[in-house]
Amino acid sequence: MQEDLGNVSAKDHKKLILYILDSTALIAGQTDFSRKEFATTPSVLSEVMHDESVKNVVEVAVDCGQLEVSNPSEDNIREVERIAASTGDRIKLSRTDIDVLALALEKSKAGIDVVIISDDYSIQNLARRMGIKTVGIIHPGIRKQITWVAYCPVCRSEYGVSNLNVCTRCGVELKRRPAKL
């Protein structure tokens, strides 16, 4: 796993930390369930259980109490969606991504030190906005937090921070770029 520099320090690793896993973390098989506390969501499991080797490892981890599986509350899901809309990340997040972030937020609010294990830059960006630490698996983590703005590459219409996918003027798929500070 590659750490998101500036997000998780060596000092943080000495405390008991709950690692929230996204799909990539389980597929990559980089989790040692015997040495750390882990949690994930049912939606993550539904994405990875088609792989027989992942399924076997996950089932053993759940049966042995090494992997907690739980749904976040609707309040935390709504809060993540609201924050994602404010950063321009909402358009890039799947329902599973939102569940992972909402579970991390919920555990964090309960006073638990949480780290999300994910290579998804939108998850990392939003987690940083929420004050939640992240660790990458294959790719290094994000270097800075970004607010995204949408624009049309054809007619040049600009939408600011938006959850639109398509230009309302010409119908072309919108692109996004970092907002200028």
Residues 51 and 109 in one domain: yes
Residues 101 and 14 in one domain: yes
165 inside domain: yes
pTM score, two decimals?
0.76
Instruction: Note whether 102 and 79 are within 8 A (CB).
Output: yes
The three-state secondary structure class of 148 is: strand
Residues 131 and 152 in one domain: no
Supply the DSSP symbol for 6.
T
pLDDT at residue number 89: 83
Q: How many domains does the chain have?
A: 2
Confidence at 141, pLDDT banded by 50, 70, 90: low
Instruction: Note whether 38 and 30 are within 8 A (CB).
Output: no
pLDDT at residue number 67: 93
Instruction: Report the length, in residues, of the chain.
Output: 181
48 inside domain: yes
> 97 or 51: whose pLDDT is higher?
97
What is the C-alpha radius of gyration for the chain, rounded to an integer number of angstroms? Answer: 17
Instruction: Note whether 151 and 177 are within 8 A (CB).
Output: yes
pLDDT digits (tens, 9 = 90+) for 112-139: 999 999 988 889 989 999 999 999 887 6
Write the CATH number for 117.
Answer: 3.40.50.1010
Residues 61 and 105 in one domain: yes
43 inside domain: yes
Helices (H), the chain: 23-28, 42-48, 52-63, 74-87, 95-109, 121-129
Is beta strand 67-69 parallel, antiparallel or unpaired with respect to 37-40?
A: parallel
Residues 39 and 68 in one domain: yes
CA atoms within 13 A on the CB side of 82: 8
Average pLDDT over residues 146-158: 84
143 inside domain: no
pLDDT digits (tens, 9 = 90+) for 66-114: 999 999 999 999 999 999 988 888 888 999 999 999 999 999 999 999 9
98 CA to centre of own chain: 7
pLDDT at residue number 156: 84
142 inside domain: no
Domain housing 11: 2-136
